[in-house]
Amino acid sequence: MVERESAADIEADAARWVVRVDRDGDDPAVRADLESWLARDRRRLGAYARAEAAWLHLDRAQVFTVGATDTPKMKSGTRRSVAAGLGALAAGVAVAAIAPRLLVRRYGTALGEIRRLPMADGSVAAINTDSAIEVAMRQRLRAVRLDRGEAWFEVAKDAARPFVVESGPVRARAVGTAFSVRRRETGSDILVTEGVVEVWVKDGKIPPRRISAGQRVFADNTLGILTPPEPEVDLNRQLAWRDGQIVLDGQTLAEAAAEFNRYNKRKIEIADLRLADARFVGWFRTSDPEGFAQAAAATFKGRVSVGDDTIVLSAG
């Protein structure tokens, strides 16, 4: 017969799990182990939540001053209460080592949606179309995970808590600055609009590289940053999406179509290869792919065919 795990054992294990997750929570294996542990007993989920929440109510001064002064010898009759108190103290100290995972929040946008998000630390995020982020405000770290898409961050200054964006294996760290991260299949684009950002790849061999305001860089998921940061002369155009705009300044029609297709279910198709290489200048709303197609057709004497799912731009 298997003995049922006691509530005290579960509470103690939960406190240890909270510490482990705070230390190694970025490791998928640790997360998988935690989920497995939680699934084996329904009481564990509540214990884990209580261990996290204890941080919010813990009087750390009392915890860390216990034992700082000499104490009189305890009578044997009080040993049980002292043991219980030490057990609570141990759990409290374990929880005090972590930042509350309960403060993790997830945000996302649908296709064509652009969202402005005030964050708990005073920072501001702008989340681009079809994107998803996870935000965890910890004691010594402000952690953001970009699961897909693109986001721009205006980071509140807090030297004691760096602001780190995780985009796959790519990391971008700032204290008080502004920058955007776009996650791609093979890596991430980082564009710095204010201050300095350190960029590196987790477990990579190349040391972190500092990217200054007005520069952009692509960090490969495996190889890291292989080329020096490039100056970006038109930050406003690159970040026009924050205001629901697409600004074209000499991009090809193929590049422009790909940008519009990020925001719309009805996709633009360029039927003529020579037309696809033509370069165009203009300002458009992200939600107006047909307006772009009609303007391009008028400029290059083409024609537009609009269907249920496509907008086809072809030579006249």
In the block, residue with structure tokens 């165009």: 280
The whole-angstrom distance between residue 276's C-alpha and the CA centroid of its chain comes to 34
Sequence spans of domains, the chain = 7-96, 102-235, 244-315
What DSSP state is assigned to residue 131?
-
pLDDT surpassing 60 at residue 2: no
For 72-86, the pLDDT digits (tens) are: 444 444 444 434 443
What is 30-66 written as a DSSP string? HHHHHHHHHHT-HHHHHHHHHHHHHHHH--HHHHHHT
- For the segment(s) 102-235, the CATH number from 2.60.40.10, 1.20.120.160, 3.30.70.1150, 2.60.120.1440 is 2.60.120.1440
For 178-207, the pLDDT digits (tens) are: 999 999 999 999 999 999 999 999 887 788
Q: Please tell me the predicted confidence (pLDDT) of residue 103.
A: 57
Q: CATH says 244-315 is which class?
A: alpha beta
pLDDT surpassing 80 at residue 237: yes
* Range name among 25-39, 93-107, 138-152, 202-216 with the lowest pLDDT average: 93-107
Q: What is the mean pLDDT of the chain?
A: 82
**Would you state the structure tokens that stand for residue 93, as one six-digit string?**
């100290």
**102-235 and 244-315, same CATH topology:** no
Supply the pTM of this predicted model: 0.68
For 127-171, the pLDDT digits (tens) are: 999 999 999 988 889 999 999 999 999 999 998 899 999 999 999
